[in-house]
């Protein structure tokens, strides 16, 4: 009997094959399948990413093997590392060590908002500040329109609350500056992660350890968390007007009351519904000025690279990375991965 195709989510990629988690468990409760990828997905130029929804067929239940036959349209792709169909971006910043920089935090929140996913804000290292000082930041962030959590890997404070939020169906990625405790938090959220990695045997284990791909883990049924932090450098939108959509407090205020001029950039001009008395006004202004001057610099031809600190990526600008931070090209990564991996024997 030929099995009908089944819907599944790609949770890890290894050269020419991938692990998927089925939307609905198999006849004996199976959830994970190791799949080859059909060449026609590749030929049509469709690269599969972690997080993608796919259809699998030629299912061999006892061997837990199948083949990916269809890649479903993707709604959101986070780049570097590539993760598709993200539901939540969790921005993590430390309250101290490194000291909280609200402008930097704002840039991260902008980047997260640009993704279109639900944005969660987490203040880490709460054990290093008196409760009152922690509450101060929570209160402030509530004023910006977020429902922030204070967490500590050291005391465990806030971890169950974060776990609960991330246990809603969907796919979450933690983002934020280096050193704020993202990896520690991922480990706290997925205590059996080490165990799982150790449980993989033989050739696959080698593959697992030599590739740098993101892997997704289930915190609850249908609730996935990426085991690798997402972006650790913020990006700004290209159009100054689109900055508004990245500030929840601007969105909500402007939905109540419109500015006098439709193209208002909300810098506290007369007739601006925002005025200049809001908490993040100066950081908003700073980001806006940066965009405006980048736009002037890049005009008239946006594809000209002037060697400045921003570069065009898709429809947004982001800081140029020094050469040592740039990722090796896709091709070089792929070659490296393929050189290190032995493929499973299943035919395409
Ligand atoms: P990442 O770069 O964001 O992934 O940060 P890491 O998880 O690597 O943590 C950076 C440093 O912060 C490490 O030395 C951790 O031990 C420390 N750290 C992480 N979480 C906490 C915390 O909740 N409290 C304290 N005091 N230190 C922490
Ligand atoms: Zn305005």
Residue of 129, 179, 232 best suited for mutating to test ligand 1, as the one with most atoms within 8 Å of CB: 179
The answer as to whether 154 is a domain residue is yes
The answer as to whether 330 is a domain residue is no
The answer as to whether 15 is a domain residue is yes
Cα of 104 vs centre of ligand 2, distance in Å, is: 23
Residues 6 or more apart in contact with residue 298 via CB below 8 angstroms = 304, 306, 310, 312, 317
32 and 163, same domain (yes or no): no
The whole-model pTM stands at 0.80
212 and 84, same domain (yes or no): yes
Would strands 65-71 and 88-94 be described as parallel, antiparallel, or unpaired? Answer: unpaired
**Domains contained in the chain, number:** 3
Q: Kindly give the residue spans of alpha helices, DSSP state H, lying in the chain.
A: 39-43, 102-114, 131-143, 159-166, 182-189, 193-199, 202-210, 248-256, 281-298, 330-340
56 and 24, same domain (yes or no): yes
In sequence order, the β-bridge partners of residue 19 are 12, 34
173 and 306, same domain (yes or no): no
d(C-alpha 189, C-alpha 183), whole Å: 10
Structural contact between residues 13 and 213, judged by C-beta atoms closer than 8 angstroms:
yes
CATH number for position 30: 2.40.50.140
**Measured in whole angstroms, how far is the alpha carbon of residue 53 from the centre of its chain?**
16
Which atom of ligand 1 is nearest to 152's Cα?
23
Residue where a domain terminates, one of 40, 55, 73? 73
Residue of 157, 179, 184 best suited for mutating to test ligand 1, as the one with most atoms within 8 Å of CB: 184
Task: Decide: 184 in ligand 1 pocket, CB within 6 A.
Answer: yes
The model's pLDDT over 262-301, given as tens digits with 9 standing for 90+, comes to: 889 999 888 899 988 899 999 999 999 998 988 888 776 5
d(C-alpha 91, C-alpha 109), whole Å: 7
33 and 82, same domain (yes or no): no
135 and 170, same domain (yes or no): yes
One pLDDT digit (tens) per residue for the chain, 348 residues = 667 899 999 999 887 789 999 999 988 899 999 999 765 565 566 788 899 999 999 999 999 999 998 889 888 777 778 899 999 999 999 999 999 999 999 999 999 998 889 999 999 999 999 999 999 999 999 999 999 999 999 999 999 999 999 999 999 999 999 889 888 898 899 876 654 444 444 444 444 443 357 889 989 888 999 988 888 788 887 788 889 999 999 999 999 988 988 889 999 888 899 988 899 999 999 999 998 988 888 776 554 444 334 455 554 555 444 333 344 444 444 443 333 332 333 333
Cα of 47 vs centre of ligand 1, distance in Å, is: 34
Cα of 36 vs centre of ligand 2, distance in Å, is: 53
């Amino acid at each position: 009997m030929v099995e009908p195709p089944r819907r599944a989510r790609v949770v890890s990629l290894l050269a020419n094959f991938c692990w998927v988690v089925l939307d609905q468990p198999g006849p004996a409760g199976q959830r994970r399948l190791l799949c080859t990828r059909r060449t026609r997905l590749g030929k049509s130029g469709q690269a599969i990413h972690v997080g993608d929804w796919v259809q699998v067929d030629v299912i061999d239940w006892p061997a837990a093997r199948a083949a990916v036959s269809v890649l479903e349209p993707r709604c959101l792709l986070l780049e570097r590392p590539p993760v598709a169909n993200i539901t939540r971006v969790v921005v993590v910043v430390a309250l101290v060590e490194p000291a909280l920089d609200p402008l930097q935090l704002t840039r991260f929140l902008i980047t997260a908002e640009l993704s279109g996913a639900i944005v969660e804000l987490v203040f880490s290292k709460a054990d290093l500040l008196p409760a009152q000082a922690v509450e101060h930041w929570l209160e402030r962030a509530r004023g910006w329109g977020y429902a922030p959590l204070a967490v500590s890997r050291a005391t465990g404070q806030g971890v169950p609350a974060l776990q609960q939020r991330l246990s809603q169906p969907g796919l979450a990625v933690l983002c934020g500056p280096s050193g704020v405790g993202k990896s520690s938090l991922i480990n706290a959220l997925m205590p059996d992660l080490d165990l799982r990695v150790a449980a993989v045997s033989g050739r696959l284990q080698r593959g697992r350890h030599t590739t740098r791909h993101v892997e997704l883990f289930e915190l609850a049924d249908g609730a996935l968390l990426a085991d690798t932090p997402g972006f650790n450098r913020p990006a700004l939108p290209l159009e100054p007007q689109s900055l508004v959509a990245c500030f929840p407090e601007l969105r909500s205020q402007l939905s109540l009351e419109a500015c006098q001029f439709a193209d208002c950039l909300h810098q506290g001009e007369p007739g601006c519904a925002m005025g200049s008395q809001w908490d993040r006004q100066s950081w908003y202004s700073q980001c806006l000025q940066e965009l405006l001057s980048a736009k002037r610099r890049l005009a008239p031809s946006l594809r000209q690279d002037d060697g400045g600190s921003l570069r065009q990526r898709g429809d947004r600008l982001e800081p140029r990375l020094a050469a040592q931070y740039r990722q090796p090209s896709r091709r070089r990564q792929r070659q490296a991965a393929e050189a290190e991996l032995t493929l499973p024997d299943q035919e395409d």
